[in-house]
Amino acid sequence: MKEQELKEQFRKWEQTQIAPPLEPDHATHFFTQLSKRKKRRQQRYFMQWAAAALVFIGLGGVFQLSQEQTTPEIIRFQKAETHLMQLIEEQMNSFEYNSSPATKEILERSKSKLKSIQNDYHKLYEQWEINPNQSQLIHALINNLNIQINLLTEINTTLKTIQNTNYEDFKI
């Protein structure tokens, strides 16, 4: 009920108010105001598109720079690294699978040597991430992976020798 009364009071107040007289050139003033708003909107629209264009140009430049940094040598290194890491992982898994009490001590010593070499690899890799265009670091990383594979090959040969020796001792 109060709401109805308020609405009624506002209607009465509105009817008692006298509107100020309009200026004779109010239509031209209104159109100039509209044209100014339209120009401001157009300017805002243009500025938004200009800002978007600058962002895209900047992103394109960054993308182009990132594409320039991946040289063929880096791509070959990344492929070689992936392949060599897979070989190392496979050999490590095979050692774990074929371990026995007789080979346990050899495996533990070999793992500590391998961890030391892998720590060196991680230090080199961090240096390479800081400056990826140094081919010396890439060669050092590949050499480190080859050393790891050679160590694992030696471990594998030693384990096979031990297993063959144990098998021959058991056979007799």
Q: What's the average model confidence in pLDDT over 155-167?
A: 76
CB 99 within 8 A of CB 111: no
What average pLDDT does this structure show over 162-167? 70
Question: CA dihedral in degrees (131, 83, 62, 125; nearest 10)?
Answer: -20
**Six-digit token string for 170:** 């058991």
Burial label, 138 (beta-carbon count in 10 A; 0-12, 13-18, 19+): buried
Joined together, the tokens standing for residue 53 give 């264009």
The whole-number pLDDT of residue 19 equals 73
Residue 167 has pLDDT above 70, yes or no: no
Beta-carbon count within 10 A of 137 CB: 19
Q: Is the pLDDT of residue 3 over 80?
A: yes
Per the CB < 8 A criterion, the answer to whether 46 and 111 are in contact is no
| pLDDT, tens digit, 9 for 90 and up, residues 65-119 | 555 556 778 788 888 888 888 888 888 777 766 667 767 777 788 888 888 888 9
Mean pLDDT of 40-55: 76
Convert the pLDDT of each residue in 130-152 to its tens digit: 887 778 888 888 898 888 888 88
In this prediction, residue 171 carries a pLDDT of 45
Band (pLDDT 50/70/90 cuts) for residue 62 is low
For residues 49-70, give the mean pLDDT.
68
Q: SS3 for the chain, per residue?
A: CHHHHHHHHHHHHHHHCCCCCCCCCHHHHHHHHHHHHHHHHHHHHHHHHHHHHHHHHHHHHHHHHHHHHCCHHHHHHHHHHHHHHHHHHHHHHHHHHCCCCCCHHHHHHHHHHHHHHHHHHHHHHHHHHHCCCCHHHHHHHHHHHHHHHHHHHHHHHHHHHHHHHHHHHHHC
What pLDDT band is residue 64 in, cutting at 50, 70 and 90?
low
Average pLDDT over residues 54-70: 66
- pTM for this prediction: 0.54
